[in-house]
Amino acid sequence: MRTFLLMVVVACAFAQAPHFEPRDIRPQGSAEPRPLLPGIGVWIFGVNLGPNCSVANVMDPSTYKTELCGVRVLFDDIPARLLYTSSGQINLIVPDHAWENETVNVRVIHPGGASAVVPVRFGVDRPILSLAEPAFVGMPVWIHVEMPVGRGSLRYPHWTAPWALAPGKFEVRFAGRDIPILTELPFVPPSLGPWKVGLPHEPPERYLGRAPLHLVYSLNRAGTYEVRYTATQVTWRAPRNRSYQQSEWTRIEIQPSTAAQRASWLAKLAGSAPADPVELMADYLPSLLAVRDETVLRILIPYLDSSDDVLRTFAQYALNYFNPSLLQRVVPGREPLRGAVF
């Protein structure tokens, strides 16, 4: 009876030809389709892809198979090595072939039939930029950066200065002209490569992969801006920064806002300060710093003497955003921290 049931299950798994589309082929770990590279791990999502089957040890590449429980995946007729199959997903390693800046045909084949040929792009993968949330004049502008799979990540705060946004640099254009960085910054945003400040714990997932662009550039006009991000790489052997990954120039829209809208946003944010120092630096304080008035300065003051070293330094650097006469009146004798982060 068990043998009969097993035969039924296998027969059902192969009852129809597999089906998937180009958007269903993704580098392992990527939420979206991206250009592929030879030799990387890939997921294929679809229907009728095969039976539930796995290699003996997914941690041991020597166990990967070009045919797993009757399933094969071909890239231009070259078989991929398979780790896992199921009706809805296949995990595989792309053949280590010299594909570059070209389209490769992918097929899934099993006893139930062969899928249609699905083209997938091989080539240079780039960071992808987008607004993390709708942006308005006079309010925070958080930019989301999705790095190519296996090519690093962005975590803010990257260093103790609020304007140290990432392991690379952002550039911004408006109406075809480059926008300079804010003049009040005591030094340009550093490109520190993979090194970043230690935190008590990593920021929550929802705060990863984004940076507060308004802390480096003035985005005070409604309209379409263009943003580009260049990741830099620094190693002990090559301490000088060099370009590593560069996004396309990406358009973002900054929408107009009203005084009432800005006041409502600020009041809501001012009344919801988290206790966690990491969340304060990863989201709350950078968002507040979109406004540089007395209300925000007074919210910042208690953190100038925080028992958390990183938060205290972050707040002391943040004083640079405020007008010197305002500082003199509200926190007399308290000077912004200006020394470089190195």
Task: Report, as an integer, the average pLDDT of 297-313.
Answer: 97
Contact by Cβ (8 Å): 165, 193: no
- For 118-160, the pLDDT digits (tens) are 999 888 778 889 999 999 999 999 999 988 766 677 899 999 9
Q: How far apart are the C-alpha atoms of 127 and 183, rounded to whole Å? A: 28
Whole-model pTM above 0.75?
Answer: no
| Domain 128-257 indexed as CATH 2.60.40 | yes
Collapse the DSSP code of 5 into the 3-class scheme (helix H, G, I; strand E, B; otherwise coil) and give the result. helix
Position 340 confidence tier, pLDDT thresholds 50, 70, 90? confident
Per CATH, domain 2-122 is 2.60.40.10 = yes
pLDDT (0 to 100) of residue 14: 64
pLDDT tens for each residue of 161-178:
999 998 889 999 999 999
pLDDT of residue 192: 67
Confidence of residue 238 (pLDDT cuts 50, 70, 90): very low
Indicate the pLDDT class of residue 240, thresholds 50, 70 and 90: very low
User: In the predicted model, what is the mean pLDDT of the chain?
Assistant: 90
Residues making up the chain, counted from first to last? 342
User: Is residue 25 helix, strand or coil?
Assistant: strand
Q: Which two tokens stand for residue 152?
A: 């690093």
65: pLDDT confidence band, cut at 50, 70 and 90? Answer: very high
Which tens digit of pLDDT belongs to each residue from 270-292?
999 999 999 999 999 999 999 99
Burial class (CB in 10 A: 0-12, 13-18, 19+), 33: middle
Instruction: Name the token pair of 297.
Output: 């300065």
The residue assigned the tokens 């392992």 is: 28
CA–CA separation, 63 and 59 (whole Å): 9
What pLDDT, on the 0 to 100 scale, is given for residue 128?
85
